[in-house]
């Protein structure tokens, strides 16, 4: 009997892993012999670049080879897609319009192949990390990316919390305050965490989801481009390949200056002028680099000061400083933090692996692999959440659209909170419950999460009927809202994640089919005459999709943006040509005529070539 039970448990075993889906690099980890460890790639790489390429044969490539193609094929390769997570705007990649979560799913599919190679085929669960300051849409997009990649996404956790878990597993018996400073490729987070004999409690978090190493790279790019303009009168940023080459060089400069005081920049062929190649040869120093980025780094210090204030702590109350994320290798980061806290940050935390390892710890707690560790973690709500109410304005006036907070930011989760409101006018029999996320006192400056109507309120005088609104916020950042008429007990409950995605199943199915088509193209690219896809997709469908309204609209939008950027660079007849081009693109996009849009795109492309763009 015992053997049968063991056999059943073994057959039902479903591995659970932790994933750091990063802006510049990604990684996956698991619990091995009671400790977190990385799942390497077939080439024994513990982290991979978060870059996706669709090559000339339509094959999807992720990682180092894709990063190498950023210069050679900038229209077929993409990096830093994490910065666009949560956006509904498609990204044009190799002529195909893909949503950010779909491209992220391709990165996660690559990581899943490593997991499958390690554990064998079958369903896998995952804990995926996000920046602490990610919005509801960004978290949902991340969860969907994991599901599109074939994972069962068990938990979405904040990156600083994951880093603290990786550290806390080895320091369970210690009581201390930890500050996690997470400066990655595209995002910055800082959290204060209290450790109390195995309990990790997040006290406060803040950050900037658009601040990181990518911004430092582009500062260098702009500096190098200005030097080219000064020397040759040519802006290399106007050419896709030259811009990609500058970006790759900027990243090398940044990394070199983390250990050296100066670096020689040699780019012999950046552009062509009068049929002659022109390039750049200069020395770039660490002091120049710091001058470019110091304002951004000091913004992170402002966040550190804010998070300490929100946690009701002083710098002297912090026992440990953990620096996480590749950009913390910049010496100036160490200098700023050391000066502010009066002591050195810890150097025994791997900046690139800590988040993935911490996600694996959370996965181990979930699966029971670390059940005997005694480790427990809590987190906080990154934004305030509440509803729209009537609010006093300019003395005795009252206007709609005031923000009443029910769950303040940095509230420990999971949590349930309620507030009671009343009807606003006589004979009111229904109430609109508008759910918002943000910090401004007026909802128009905050973010609408969803809304619903509570009907069946007894007809009565204004203020006589009470409406109790309850917010339940769980560890995955999913909000459930209930509104109840106090006098009758009639209630209505909405799960905001579902309410926001009424067409989520259809959208998910469409995304899954799109990715399936990409990978089926990989499998069948040598048998084009008999190309057939599952779920009713065949060669005709694919050929039509290349000229679909979504793809053409995305291509036209990209051309329009480029033309608008160039408008100030030309005068006279060239300027007039660009103005006509912008007008034609706008009119064709507004009319929605596919044939017209295709013709205008072709004409616009020819015009760009004529202008040597």
Active site residues: 20, 82, 159, 182
CA distance 201 to 197: 11
Count of H-run helices and E-run strands, the chain: 16, 27
Which one, of 388, 483, 492, lies nearest residue 438 by Cα? 388
Quickly list DSSP for 21-49: E-SSEEEEEEEETTEEEE---TT--SSEE
CA distance 64 to 77: 12
Instruction: Answer for the pair 150, 115: CB distance below 8 angstroms, yes or no.
Output: no
CA distance 130 to 521: 31
As a three-state string, the secondary structure of 185-224 is CCCEEEEEEEEECCEEEEEEEEEECCCCHHHHHHHHHHHH
Which one, of 178, 141, 146, lies nearest residue 163 by Cα? 178
Instruction: Answer for the pair 361, 167: CB distance below 8 angstroms, yes or no.
Output: no
Instruction: Answer for the pair 494, 480: CB distance below 8 angstroms, yes or no.
Output: yes
Which one, of 305, 316, 310, 301, lies nearest residue 177 by Cα? 316
Instruction: Answer for the pair 88, 117: CB distance below 8 angstroms, yes or no.
Output: no
Kindly give the residue spans of alpha helices, DSSP state H, lying in 323-409.
331-341, 354-367
Tokens in use for 217? 């790279």
Q: Residues 6 or more apart from 468 whose CB is under 8 A from it?
A: 418, 419, 420, 421, 483, 484, 486
Dihedral angle sign, alpha carbons of residues 323, 326, 331, 336: negative
Cα-flanking dihedrals φ and ψ of residue 6, to 5°?
-60, -40
Which one, of 178, 173, 265, 183, lies nearest residue 221 by Cα? 265
Tokens in use for 301? 């210090």
Q: Residues 6 or more apart from 432 whose CB is under 8 A from it?
A: 451, 452, 453
Kind and range of the H or E run holding 558: helix 549-566
Crossing angle of the two packed helices 213-232 and 286-310, in degrees rounded to 10: 150
């Amino acid at each position: 009997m015992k053997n049968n039970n063991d056999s059943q448990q073994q057959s039902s075993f479903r591995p659970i892993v932790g994933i750091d889906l990063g802006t510049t690099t990604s990684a996956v980890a698991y619990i091995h012999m009671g400790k977190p460890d990385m799942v390497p790639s077939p080439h024994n790489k513990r982290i991979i670049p978060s870059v996706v390429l669709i090559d000339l044969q339509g094959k999807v490539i992720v990682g180092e080879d894709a990063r190498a193609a950023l210069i050679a094929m900038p229209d077929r390769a993409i990096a830093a897609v994490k910065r666009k997570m949560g956006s509904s705007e498609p990204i044009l990649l190799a002529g195909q319009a893909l949503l950010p979560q779909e491209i992220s799913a391709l990165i996660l599919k690559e990581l899943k192949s490593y997991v499958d190679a390690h554990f064998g085929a079958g369903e896998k669960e995952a804990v995926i990390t996000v920046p602490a300051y990610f919005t509801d849409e960004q978290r949902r997009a991340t969860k969907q990316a994991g599901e599109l990649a074939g994972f069962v996404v068990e938990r979405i956790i904040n990156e600083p919390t994951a880093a603290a878990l990786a550290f806390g597993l080895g320091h369970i018996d210690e009581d201390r305050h930890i500050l996690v400073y997470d400066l990655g490729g595209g995002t910055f987070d800082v959290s204060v965490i209290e450790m109390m004999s195995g309990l990790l409690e997040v006290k406060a978090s803040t950050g900037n989801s658009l601040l990181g190493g990518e911004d430092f790279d582009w500062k260098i790019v702009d500096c190098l481009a200005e030097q080219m303009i000064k020397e040759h009168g040519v802006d290399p940023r106007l050419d896709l390949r030259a811009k990609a080459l500058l970006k790759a060089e900027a990243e090398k400069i940044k990394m070199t200056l983390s250990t050296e005081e100066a670096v020689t920049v040699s780019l012999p062929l950046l552009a062509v002028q009068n049929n002659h190649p022109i390039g750049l040869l200069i020395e770039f120093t660490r002091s120049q680099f710091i001058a470019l980025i110091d304002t951004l780094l000091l913004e992170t210090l402002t966040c550190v000061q804010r998070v300490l204030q929100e946690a009701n702590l002083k710098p002297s109350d912090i026992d440990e400083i953990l620096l996480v994320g590749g950009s913390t290798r910049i010496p100036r980061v160490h200098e700023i933090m050391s000066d502010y806290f009066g002591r050195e940050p810890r150097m025994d935390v791997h900046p690139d692996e800590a988040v993935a390892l911490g996600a694996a710890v959370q996965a181990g707690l979930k699966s029971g692999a670390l059940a005997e560790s005694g480790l427990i973690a809590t987190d906080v709500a990154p934004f305030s959440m509440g509803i729209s109410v009537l609010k006093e304005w300019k003395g005795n006036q009252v206007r709609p659209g005031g923000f009443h907070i029910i769950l303040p930011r940095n509230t420990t989760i999971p949590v349930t909170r309620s507030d009671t409101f009343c009807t606003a006018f006589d004979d009111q029999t229904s109430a609109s419950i508008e759910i918002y996320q943000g910090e401004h006192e007026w909802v128009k400056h905050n973010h609408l999460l969803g809304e619903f109507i509570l009907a069946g309120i007894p007809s009565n005088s204004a203020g006589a009927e009470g409406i109790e609104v309850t917010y339940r916020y769980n560890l995955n950042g999913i909000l459930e809202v209930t509104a109840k008429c106090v006098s009758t007990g009639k209630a209505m409950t909405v799960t905001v994640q579902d309410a926001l995605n009424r067409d989520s199943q259809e959208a998910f199915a469409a995304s899954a089919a799109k990715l399936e088509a990409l990978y089926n193209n990989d499998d069948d690219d040598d048998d084009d005459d008999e190309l057939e896809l599952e779920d009713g997709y065949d060669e005709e469908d694919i050929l039509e999709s290349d000229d679909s309204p979504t793809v053409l609209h995305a291509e036209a939008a990209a051309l329009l943006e480029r033309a608008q950027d160039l408008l100030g660079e030309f005068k006279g007849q060239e300027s007039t040509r660009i103005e006509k081009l912008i007008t034609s693109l706008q009119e064709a996009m507004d009319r929605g005529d596919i044939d017209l849009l295709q013709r205008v795109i072709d004409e616009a492309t020819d015009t760009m070539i004529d202008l040597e763009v």
